[in-house]
Amino acid sequence: IPIITVSSDLESKTTQLSDKISPNSCLISGAKISASDPKTIQIKYEDTGAKSQQIDDLDKKLDELNKTFQEAKKSLDELINLKLRPTDFAQKVDDITQNIQKSPWKIETKSFVASSLDELTPTNIVKVDEQYSITATITRPSGIADYPPLLYYVMYIQVLDQNGDRVTGSWHQDTIRVNQTASAGTYWSPTNIGNYTVEVFVWASFGGTPLAEPTKINVDVV
């Protein structure tokens, strides 16, 4: 899987390029980066062996996290839908809630998909062979975890097809202060129609503690 680091005089981002391509087709990948001087933008290929292992480890961690969330959600749904609620209903709801939120999220995340020709207008319906931007915006609110003053984070943006297979993925890493908002993104050119899911994850490090609740967007490719 091609992995590159794009850097400029303002920031640096590590991006995993598209890892699937249909026969006899061309797939374009990209990354967004800010620069006050375009001449300072540089691209460096990373060691794919080490990064691939990190990706495999993170895929396993994602599966574990998703399984935990699904099990907790199932338990909560079953409890709420009981015709005869147990006497300790309130306590069980609290226990399940605490299991889902073992630690407060330190970062709030929002994401959207838009045409590369109009990146400020979100859409959930996209067309084959056209380029779209995926933008994730994170905010670090005050009062939850104000220490350390400068919080390092790793963001992963991925697109899954209707079979749950990853179509493309993009890594980003940076730091954020309390009450600060930051954005990252990537580009995606779908090659097949169908239902897709855009997911955004934020960790304290590669494979580390989650800092934000994962976000999901359902996208129809026509």
pTM of the model: 0.57
The mean-pLDDT minimum among 115-119, 194-198, 208-212 falls in 208-212
Which domains does the chain show, CATH number per domain? 3-46+103-221 (2.60.40.2550)
User: In the predicted model, what is the mean pLDDT of residues 196-218?
Assistant: 87
Element (H, E) at 69: helix 48-80
- Residue with the bigger pLDDT between 10 and 65: it is 10
Instruction: Please classify residue 101 by burial: count the beta carbons closer than 10 Å to its beta carbon, then call 0-12 exposed, 13-18 middle and 19+ buried.
Output: exposed
CA distance 73 to 79: 10
Per-position DSSP letters for 75-134, written without gaps between them:
HHHHHHT-SS--TTHHHHHHHHHHHHTSS--S-EEEEEEEETT-TTSB-SEE-TT--EEE
Encoded amino acid at 82, one letter: L
Q: How confident is the model at residue 218 (pLDDT cuts 50, 70, 90)?
A: very high
Instruction: Please classify residue 27 by burial: count the beta carbons closer than 10 Å to its beta carbon, then call 0-12 exposed, 13-18 middle and 19+ buried.
Output: middle
pLDDT of the residue at 20: 57
- For the cut 90, the answer to whether the pLDDT of residue 123 exceeds it is yes
Element (H, E) at 51: helix 48-80
What Å distances lie between residue 44 and 4, 11, 19, CA to CA?
5, 14, 18
pLDDT of the residue at 79: 81
CA distance 133 to 185: 7
pLDDT of the residue at 71: 75
**What's the whole-number average pLDDT of the chain?**
80
CA distance 1 to 197: 20
